[in-house]
Amino acid sequence: MSLINLHSTADLHSNAIIIDGLIIAKWSRALFEDMRKGGLTAANCTVSVWEDFQGTIDNIVMVNQLMRDSADLVRQVHTTEDIRQAKREGRTGIILGFQNAHAFEDQLGYVEIFKRLGVGIVQMCYNTQNLIGTGCYERDGGLSGFGREVIAEMNRVGIMCDLSHVGAVTSEEVILESKKPVCYSHCLPAGLKQHPRNKTDEQLKFIADRGGFVGVTMFAPFLKKGIDSTVDDYCEAIGYIMNIVGEDAIGIGTDFTQGHGPEFFDMLTHDKGYARSLTEFGKIVNPLGIRTVGEFPNLTEALLKNGFSEPQVRKIMGENWLRVLGDVWGTEHSQTQESGAGLVSEQVVAASDAELAFQG
């Protein structure tokens, strides 16, 4: 690659909208600094997995303080205009996201409460059964009646439904039920490796055919070569999914977990955070070349090197997420609650993960 090409690659990354549809890294100023190093425009950052309503509020309180203390690096985003504004300011826009709808408890009204606090994407289930449906690690009886009401409320207020860790039956029923686009914010194709968390070609086609969206993760145990994978293997998976869903319905959802220790992964991989063990991933190393958030520019470079066109790279790296989030969140800026429209505001990207992802 010539020096000129290297320069243009760096330019592309620095002037493009770069959105990560799922990060579950440890919240800290160090993370925000790495986001800036990686040139992230916005990211969907997990604030709830097993926590109940008030436990999730407590997480948001903690995160609000961290964002305030690092206002030179990050800003909260409620709308896609906020994301564009973050880009202009050279800050990273933070979208709050849940990996589990458990925090809604049994109250439809809590959906709107969280929307006002900046939650833009919520995964319907996390690995196991909740009041809405069932996750991908146990028998899945499908979407509940209450789940249908939750989806209607999420549609109304503008929170995107995420299905990454949701079971196949529940996922299909959510896709059919939702009146707004839904997503797998962070998944890999079963066509490259069989795994309960990976999605079959049929599942990928099903969501895309109904206006849905797919964010591609790079979680090593779900990649063909496991912990020996590189950023090129990540590009292969992106290409595989793009061939099925098309170049407008695909984005990035890394599932970065940097900064967390073993206790965090123990919590994630046990049902309810403490009950039976659900998964065992062994040693986890992110693909070579994209082991940390700060290495994000390498992904842009690798996509170009692997034959993706510049317009495709721009779409994959963020423009597609920006468009679909706008579709779900609406274009109003005010959070003031109004009649039918509810509090129409927007917020950025995707969902979260229960997988181990120790940084090698």
Judged by CB under 8 A, which of 47, 67, 174, 249 binds a second copy? 67
Which one of 132-140, 213-221, 239-247, 332-340 is the stretch in contact with a second copy (CB under 8 A)?
Answer: 332-340
Which one of 246-254, 279-287, 303-311, 337-345 is the stretch in contact with a second copy (CB under 8 A)?
Answer: 337-345
Judged by CB under 8 A, which of 17, 57, 160, 349 binds a second copy? 57
User: Is 339 one of the binding residues for a second copy (CB under 8 A)?
Assistant: yes
Q: What does the DSSP assignment read for 95-106?
A: EEEES-GGGGTT
Rounded-to-integer distance, Cα 135 and Cα 168, Å: 8
Rounded-to-integer distance, Cα 291 and Cα 248, Å: 26
User: Is 53 one of the binding residues for a second copy (CB under 8 A)?
Assistant: yes
Residue found by looking up tokens 């293997």 in the block: 233
Q: What does the DSSP assignment read for 110-155?
A: HHHHHHHTTEEEEES-SSS--SS--BTTS------HHHHHHHHHHH
Q: Which of residues 285-314 bind a second copy (CB under 8 A)?
A: none
Number of residues that bind a second copy (CB under 8 A): 35
Judged by CB under 8 A, which of 174, 298, 342, 356 binds a second copy? 342
User: Is 331 one of the binding residues for a second copy (CB under 8 A)?
Assistant: no
Rounded-to-integer distance, Cα 183 and Cα 161, Å: 6
Q: Which of residues 102-141 bind a second copy (CB under 8 A)?
A: 107, 109-110, 112-113, 116-118
Q: Is the Cβ–Cβ distance between 126 and 185 less than 8 Å?
A: no
Assign 45 to helix, strand or coil. strand
Assign 46 to helix, strand or coil. strand
Burial class (CB in 10 A: 0-12, 13-18, 19+), 137: buried
Q: For the beta carbon of residue 321, count every other beta carbon within 10 angstroms.
A: 35
- Min dist. Cβ of residue 65 to a second copy (A): 7
> Which is closer to a second copy, CB of 96 or CB of 302?
96
Long-range contacts at 4-12 (CB < 8 A, ≥ 24 apart): 9/297, 9/300, 9/301, 9/304, 10/297, 12/300, 12/304, 12/310, 12/313, 12/314
> Which is closer to a second copy, CB of 221 or CB of 330?
330
Q: For the beta carbon of residue 194, count every other beta carbon within 10 angstroms.
A: 9
Judged by CB under 8 A, which of 8, 64, 292, 306 binds a second copy? 64
Judged by CB under 8 A, which of 71, 141, 309, 360 binds a second copy? 71
Which one of 13-21, 50-58, 245-253, 302-310 is the stretch in contact with a second copy (CB under 8 A)?
Answer: 50-58
User: Is 149 one of the binding residues for a second copy (CB under 8 A)?
Assistant: no
User: Is 61 one of the binding residues for a second copy (CB under 8 A)?
Assistant: yes
User: Is 68 one of the binding residues for a second copy (CB under 8 A)?
Assistant: yes
Could you tell me the maximum CA-CA distance found in the chain, to the nearest angstrom?
58
Which one of 17-25, 66-74, 172-180, 316-324 is the stretch in contact with a second copy (CB under 8 A)?
Answer: 66-74
> Which is closer to a second copy, CB of 127 or CB of 345?
345
Which one of 36-44, 62-70, 192-200, 278-286 is the stretch in contact with a second copy (CB under 8 A)?
Answer: 62-70
- Min dist. Cβ of residue 283 to a second copy (A): 37
User: Is 5 one of the binding residues for a second copy (CB under 8 A)?
Assistant: no
Q: Taking the CA of residue 78 as centre, how many other CA atoms within 13 Å lie in the half-sphere pointing to its CB?
A: 14
Q: How many residues does the chain have?
A: 360
- Min dist. Cβ of residue 117 to a second copy (A): 6
Which spans of this chain sit near a second copy (rule: CB under 8 A)? Answer: 53-54, 57-58, 60-62, 64-65, 67-68, 71-72, 75-78, 82, 107, 109-110, 112-113, 116-118, 333-340, 342
